[in-house]
Amino acid sequence: MTTSPEEIAPGVYRIDAFSISNAINVFALSGEHGWTLVDTGIPSSPKRIQAALTSLGIAPAHLTRIYLTHHHQDHIGGIPGMRTWAPQAEIVAPEHEAEIIGGEQPLDPSSNRILRSLQRWNKLPTAPVGRPLREGEVVAGFRLIATPGHTLGHTSLLSDEHGLLLTADAFGAMPRKLRVGVRRELCTDPVMAKRSAEKLLAEHYETVVVSHGPVLRANAKRRLTEIVEQCDYA
Q: Among candidates 202, 184, 12, which has minimal Cα distance to 110?
A: 184
pLDDT digits (tens, 9 = 90+) for 215-224: 999 999 999 9
In which band, very low, low, confident or very high, does the pLDDT at 2 lie, cut at 50, 70 and 90? low
Question: What is d(CA 208, CA 219) in angstroms, rounded to the nearest whole number?
Answer: 10
pLDDT tops 70 at residue 1 = no
pLDDT digits (tens, 9 = 90+) for 48-93: 999 999 999 999 999 999 999 999 999 999 999 999 999 999 999 9
Average pLDDT over residues 142-157: 98
Mean per-residue pLDDT of the chain: 95
Cross-strand partners of 216: 208
Q: Among candidates 112, 75, 114, which has minimal Cα distance to 190?
A: 112
In which band, very low, low, confident or very high, does the pLDDT at 119 lie, cut at 50, 70 and 90? confident
Whole-prediction pTM: 0.95
Which residues, at least 6 apart from 13, have a Cβ–Cβ distance to it below 8 Å?
5, 6, 7, 27, 28, 29, 52, 56
Which comes out higher in pLDDT, residue 113 or 157?
157
pLDDT tops 70 at residue 3 = no
- Domains annotated for the chain, with CATH where assigned, are 6-230 (3.60.15.10)
- Taking each helix axis from N to C end, the angle separating 220-230 and 190-201, rounded to the nearest 10 degrees, works out to 150
